[in-house]
Amino acid sequence: MMFRVLAADFLKIRRKAIWFLIFLGPIGVIALQAANYGLRYDYLMEKYAANPWGAFLGNIQFLLPVTILLGIAIIASMVANIEHQMNSWKQLLALPIARASVFSAKFTLCVLMLLISCILLGIGIVGLGLGLKLGTDVPLISVIKLSFYPFIASLPALALQLWLSVTMRNQALPLTVGILGGVVSTYASNMPDWFLWKLPLLTNHAGIPEYSVVAGLAVGIVIFAIGLLHFTRRDVN
């Protein structure tokens, strides 16, 4: 049943600006890094001659948390707002479809679209790195981790943003929470490891990025479950 709802959701966003945002995120990150190297190419190549790919990936990693968190807030809001704008929540929930399927389909839609952004980011990283002549020994494992780890660690934020966006007709509060979360993430490196908006930074006291990824996945499932339970038990205007 969820897959039928998911297919319908894909049709609803077919001609929406949301697809522009899916491409804008990774393109923006790559463009900023291209500008960075374009302006300081000789300096950066000389400074990081011992490990040009490592420095390149490190600079990109600095941009990702705020980009992902802001993107999550906007995309979750746009996905939920389709129903709000058309006043179709009551009609949708009156159909012989489980509420859990509706909420799960919205969450899955967001995840799939953001995964597309992650794939585009990985392709862009490799393409730009080769274009900058950083070397043909592309660290593919590091590129894959950089492309997907921050997103997986951001799943709690996605679950929270979708929960707020679906249950609130006025999207001002969900967007405010998302924007503040993105801004706070840039200063969150010294926050406790359990701080939700620190997880995408992949920094923790153990110094193991995978801990943040696993924590993000686990907490994301918990928040999703709470949001799902709340959605199934309340009226949506």
Query: With pLDDT > 90 as the criterion, what percentage of the chain qualifies?
Result: 61
Q: Using one digit for the tens of pLDDT, what is the confidence trace for 160-203?
A: 999 999 998 888 999 999 999 999 998 888 898 889 999 999 99
Give Cα separations from 16 to 75, 133, 139 (angstroms): 11, 37, 36
Token pair listed for 125: 């990283």
pLDDT for residue 140: 94
Q: Which pLDDT score, from 0 to 100, does residue 236 have?
A: 60
The CA R_g of the chain, rounded to the nearest whole Å, is: 19
φ/ψ (deg, to 5) at 185: -60, -30
Tokens of 138: 């592309």
Question: Would you kindly state where each structural domain of the chain is located, as residue ranges?
Answer: 2-233
CA distance 78 to 18: 7
The overall average pLDDT reported for the chain is: 90
Q: What is the pLDDT of residue 221?
A: 96
Average pLDDT over residues 66-92: 88
Q: What is the pLDDT of residues 4-51, one digit of tens each?
A: 888 888 888 887 788 888 999 999 999 999 999 988 888 888 888 888
CB–CB of 125/146 below 8 Å? yes
Q: Contact 83/135 with Cβ under 8 angstroms?
A: no
